Structure 1
Amino acid sequence: MSAGPNPVLATEKQKSVAVKTLVEFAAKTGSLDRRFTPAPTGQEGIEGHKKVTSRRGEGYQTEMSLSISYNGITFRGRADGYDPAAHCIDEIKTFYGDVDRIPENHRALHWAQARCYGWMYCALNGCDQVNLALIYFELATETEFLLEENWKASELQKYFELLAEKYCTWQTQLNQRRHQLQQWLEQLQFPYGEMHASQRVMAEAVYKAAATGRVVLAEAPTGTGKTLAALFPALKSIPRTPVDKIFYLTAKTTGKQLALENIQLITSAAAAPLRTLELTAQEKACLEPDKKCRGDSCPYALDFYSKLEAARQAAFATPMLNKQALNKLADQFEICPFYLSLEMSRWVDIVVADVNYYFDGTPLLLGLTNQFEWNPYLLVDESHNLIERGRSMYSAELNRAELLAAKKVAPAALKKPLEKINKAWLSLLKKLTQVTDDFVRIEILPEKLGQALVEFTNSYSEFLQQNPEHSIQESIAQEFFFAALNYQRIGDILDEDFCIDMQAIGSKAEIITLRNLIPAQQLAVRLSFAHSACFFSATLHPSHYYQTLLGLPEDTVHIKVPSPFGAHQLKVKIAHHLSTRYKDRQAAIAPVCEIIQQQLHEEPGNALVFFSSYEFLQQAEQQLRKRLAQQDIQLIVQSRRMSEQERENFIEQFNQHNNLLGLAVLGGAFSEGVDLSGDALKGAFIATLGLPQVNPINEYLRGVLQEQFGQGYDFTYTYPGIQKVIQAAGRVIRNQTDSGYLWLLDQRFGQSQIKALLPDWWNE
């Protein structure tokens, strides 16, 4: 019998595509529905499959490998089972709850998978017809629900080829554009003609890392054009190395914007075949924040998958898929821009995203890298932030106030499991000899609390299986459920790089934390799936500190890019008589304010002052308002929890005024990622060494780092503090025509060990 176009067994050289990938691309229909629906874990699914197949008769075949080629692409997969007595291909799906609540579009996708396997079996075995069975196995009751179809091979062939043709047509477009991209990249010229010397040092290291599959740690001062020096050679490497994707990862919105601007600069030539995507957090991308993310509530979720084919085609024709372009497509096709961006992340060349999209616990980009066997080049901007971000990503926190709030709103079926958690919490508290406002360490993972959390998450899942429309989905109870799941996930990876601690708020022991102290191992595992990487920032000194805590390989290439700036551009002054240590802070307020007042009198112009805390800032603000009242100087002040718009307004005032003094907190929103060149900023005052607060948590961290690396104090306090100082000072000199001043308002800046950590082009 005829098997259609090229239905031959594939060779290893042909492209291979999983049947699951095929049907998700070509057969998915219906609406988005982002309600949380408990699903079996991978292990539960495996056990469920085993139970179903163990009930079958003699000769039953499991995990039957099938593959077939169509127009040069091999489609492959494993049918869950084949019953030779019934001549039936089985597709097994495990679930919890009511089988009638399985969405119709999910069921259609399951049938699509079974039908593809049916055609593969017929084509490879010369059958004219085959029976197909969709077996839903409810795990709690171990009940099977059986749906059956009988298909002629010729009809299955038509069905399969309709899907395969869609995929092959799309793949042909991808291949054609990829070929154009390779040719375009071969001819690509640096946008400014020649690189300056500092850029060339970094660019050569980035390119060589692509060729050798290595990692670069690059300290590149502000003004070296490091974004372009990372992007350009990474792109140029694509035609001649295994690199096939670039993930530009950053911890700041400003870093994303700078990357997108540089990509626009590189692709300014007409009709560049490069495709770039900006991934934005869902809460920022959502066009209907007051609506629920499902088809019966939001028009952008309604029939999402049915609209996707046309929207995907239009998106693929858009070189720069930034937030604005995605919103335009969303309006044109009435489709969710966030989930469209997730779909397009599979098909573009560069993804610009927050670091959590690759390094988090269950990250999108890492998952796609494994699924499609990509060889991405990671460009990790502002990498000095990744140590703290890593600690945050690999930590979990339970808050007793949230537990009690969840208990108040929970339905009766969940009150008992929540009360069990509360009792386990109180029992744990009785065993602890001391809980202070700061921190008490717990030696081992609390077993009873862990058991109670598992019982609650299981009960919650069972409740939602029976009550999928319940309002609990919008409540604090669901938030606590996700916190409990994260606690269990982190609990599974606990080792010597973590600690367990309890903190008190007032008189109550409110917070239990599984705290990551050393993120190196977790980061290293994720990094290992990339082909190459460049971690870069203006502040990566000393490099061994960052290499150690970021988990970079032993053969990491270290480069320090020379600064393009000279000492003549920045007047650095140290207040050798002044101490801003906590014990001396009250006495320091008056002399700090006096220095600021005198400097602004001698050199009028915009300036920023960085303090160690809001408390210090507010105390100084009162004196500065009095002192500067006669000098026609406008004072603006950073406040706690400023919105993004408020932060933008704060910065914009520096571009609109020329006699402005901004007060900010070191390490906050305005001490890095802010570009104020020329007269927008003439100087900065840093009234702190930037050292993290001495508290029981940091002191415990210091002890762990001392034991492991022999530099506990520097790793915990000195290096993170000086990094914040250098970042803040970097706001003053932004290019080679800038000039300004920097006041370091603490006598410790004069110490030789601190001076050795400051940029070598700074001269007092």
Structure 2
Amino acid sequence: MELFPYRGFRPFQKEVHDAVYRGLLEEKPVLINAPTGLGKTAAVLTATLRYLLDTETSVHYVVRTRAELEPPVRELSKILNRGVDLDHVVIKSRQDMCCHSSLKKLDYLEFLAECRLLKRMGRCAYYPPREVQAPLMSVSTYVKFLCASQSCPYEYARQKMSGAQLVISTYYYVFGREHADLRDRVVIIDEAHSLFDAVTQLHSIVLSEGDLRTAYKEAKKYGFLDEAAKIYRLLTFIKRSAGAVDVGDVLGLAADLDLENAIWEITKRKTEEKVNPYTPLLLVKELRDALRGRLRYYAEVRGENLAKTLVLYPLDPTALIKESLRGVKNVVYISGTLPVSIFAESLALSDFVKLDISFSDFIPRHNYLSIIDVGVTTKFEERTEEMHLRIAERLATAINLSPGGVLAMFPSYDVMKGVRKYLKISIPHWYEGPQEVDWENLP
């Protein structure tokens, strides 16, 4: 059966497909660096599923963000439409997959507390999940179908993960604190250039002055005075600190906190009071447990005055990556900006299959002009409406001055959506989304 979901390979797609399949057959890690727009996802997924069907080896495909789930899901949908019978599952965060729209407005930890309460009291109409066959066209339709079937999409996916032939998920389910069982699976890591930063973020501990102040007040209110006093000492330490701090000092303040009983009792009392049962003592417990564990951290206090935050970063993300991938059958690393040699050295990879396609290989040098505009940025903390407007104005100018077609690449779907509403252009234009454009039948 022909798995590739298109009429033929585009330039370099066949090379990507063959490199991945060869690496899997030889049981060697695969490192693919190829420009965005080449069609890596379809080529890699086709090669990996071919290997899956040949060897009955399960596959876990991971992306960094929830928006990045769409391309592999879209390509998988097309492959399934060719008659491939494959047990698959898609999973992202519990809140993103929740059928209760009102709960999506809560802070994540408040949401988790409310979710647990609804399940425990038997008041969630979608739990336990039902056994249904969810069609796959896009992530949103997948979730909507399960909700319409009265089946919690998240719990449905969690139940199916261990037995699924193909899992598509965000990084959390491979590199988070509670990762999936990956033994004897092939793992595909998309956007691999961001792996070290993503793992660092997943294992960082963040505790704000405001969270600590609320934790102190709740411990005091509900009668846990010893814990309240210890939390207050930690709060005072953060208020008086700035920059790098000694992890040992933080450990000395948090290590002997006895929080389990306090959390249980406060959660129960809040439930009886018919308020959200979340308590920020959970964050203090997370800090304590992290300091008691095997990981080594770097600690610093950021911010000023009443807005200070204690942050702990893991010192060695490489060790976390290796631990998460322990026992896997093989790994395929793919990216559009992967420094192959440095990346391989960082993970101590010596015998591997690589394919390194430069941008100038994909698009001839005489076909593009490089211009750096220092007046705009897509840094997360600076993604304001004003910035989106400025990007849109510059992009419209570039498009209107170009004699031919223009391909605009955005760092994320969120940025594209933010810019799109301000973009005013008169020529025909299309945006990538869950439903891919049929390029051959455009007017």
Normalised by the shorter chain, which TM-score bucket? 0.7 to 0.9
Matched, 1:397 2:206: yes
Residues 553 and 528 of structure 1: CA distance in aligned 2, closer, same or farther (over 3 Å): farther
1:490 aligns with 2:290: yes
Change (3 A) 1:557 1:418: farther
Q: For 1:474-485, list aligned pairs within 5 A.
A: 474=276, 478=279, 480-485=280-285
Deviations 1:476-520 (A, max 9, x none): 6x2x22222322333244556x312223422x5832222124411
Asked if 1:520 is matched to 2:333, the reply is no
5 Å-filtered alignment, 1:7-22, equals none
Offset at residue 651 of structure 1 (A): 3.0
Unaligned 5+ segments in structure 1 are 1-186, 581-591, 593-608, 634-642, 660-677, 682-735, 738-764
The alpha-carbon deviation at position 357 of structure 1 amounts to 1.1
The structural deviation recorded for 1:326 is 4.2
Where does 1:91-106 land on structure 2 (aligned, <5 Å)? none
- Which of 234, 237, 250 is matched with 2:63 structurally? 250
Q: Distance in 1 between matches of 2:413 and 2:226?
A: 41
Question: Is the partner of 1:285 in helix, strand or coil?
Answer: coil
Identity of matched residues, %: 15
1:361: which partner in 2?
177
Q: 1:658 to 1:533 in 2, by over 3 A?
A: farther
Q: CA deviation at 1:228?
A: 1.2
- Deviations 1:680-725, CA, capped at 9 Å, x for gaps: 69xxxxxxxxxxxxxxxxxxxxxxxxxxxxxxxxxxxxxxxxxxxx
Three-state SS of the structure 2 residue aligned to 1:502 is strand
Give the match for residue 238 of structure 1.
Answer: 52
Q: What is the correspondence of 1:307-326 to structure 2 with a 5 Å cutoff?
A: 308=129, 311-312=130-131, 314-315=132-133, 318=135, 322-326=139-143
Q: How does 1:681-700 map to 2 (within 5 A)?
A: none
Of 419, 422, 433, which residue of structure 2 is paired with 1:650? 419
Instruction: Identify if the C-alpha distance between structure 1 residues 548 and 280 changes in structure 2 by more than 3 Å, giving closer, same or farther.
Output: same
Alignment of 1:299-338 (within 5 A): 299-301=124-126, 304-305=127-128, 308=129, 311-312=130-131, 314-315=132-133, 318=135, 322-332=139-149, 334-338=150-154
Q: Is the 8 A contact 1:246 1:349 kept in 2?
A: yes
Q: In structure 2, which of residues 21, 31, 35 is the aligned counterpart of residue 207 of structure 1?
A: 21
Q: In the alignment, what sits opposite 1:546? A: 343
| CA positional deviation for 1:427 | 5.4
C-alpha distance in 2 between matches for 1:547 and 1:202: 18
Change (3 A) 1:336 1:208: same
Q: CA RMSD in A?
A: 4.0
* Residues matched between the structures, number: 401
Q: 1:442 to 1:472 in 2, by over 3 A?
A: farther
Distance 1:554 1:407, change over 3 A: same
Q: Does 1:558 align with 2:354?
A: yes
Contact 1:315 1:344 (8 Å CA) reproduced? no
Please name the residue that 2:261 is paired with.
459
Higher share of residues assigned strand: 1
Mapped contact 1:210–1:532 kept (Cα < 8 A): yes
Given that residues 278 and 321 in structure 1 are in contact (C-alpha distance below 8 angstroms), is that contact kept between their aligned partners in structure 2?
Answer: no
Residue in 1 aligned with 2:271?
Answer: 469
Partner of 1:265: 78
Cross-structure match for 1:442? 246
Give 1:375 shift: 1.9
Question: Where does 1:518-667 land on structure 2 (aligned, <5 Å)?
Answer: 518-541=316-339, 543-549=340-346, 551=347, 553-562=349-358, 563-573=361-371, 609-610=376-377, 614=382, 648=417, 650-651=419-420, 654=423, 657-658=425-426
Task: State whether structure 2 residue 94 is matched by structure 1 residue 282.
Answer: yes
Equivalent pair of 1:424/1:448 in contact (CA under 8 Å): no
- Tell me the equivalent position of 2:110: none
- Provide the C-alpha distance between the structure 1 equivalents of 2:223 and 2:372, rounded to a whole number of angstroms: 65
Cα pair 2:65 2:171 within 8 Å, conserved? no
CA distance in 1, matches of 2:164, 2:389: 49
- Larger relative contact order (Cα-Cα within 8 Å, sequence gap ≥ 6): 2
Q: 1:391 to 1:510 in 2, by over 3 A?
A: same
Q: Which structure has the greater CA radius of gyration?
A: 1
CA drift at 1:540: 0.7
Q: Please, which runs of 5 or more residues in structure 2 have no aligned partner? A: 104-113, 402-411, 432-438
Aligned counterparts of 1:615 and 1:197: Cα–Cα separation in 2: 35
SS at match of 2:255: helix
- Give the Cα separation in 1 of the matches to 2:307 and 2:204: 18
* 1:349 partnered with 2:148: no
Specify whether residues 484 and 611 from structure 1 end up closer, same or farther in structure 2 by C-alpha distance, changes over 3 A only. closer
Q: Deviations over 1:600-623 (max 9, x none)?
A: xxxxxxxxx54778499969989x
Query: Could you tell me how far 1:426 is from its partner in structure 2?
Result: 2.7
Pairing 1:119-134 to 2, within 5 Å after superposition: none
Normalised to the residue count of structure 2, the TM-score between the two structures is 0.76
Q: CA deviation at 1:355?
A: 0.8
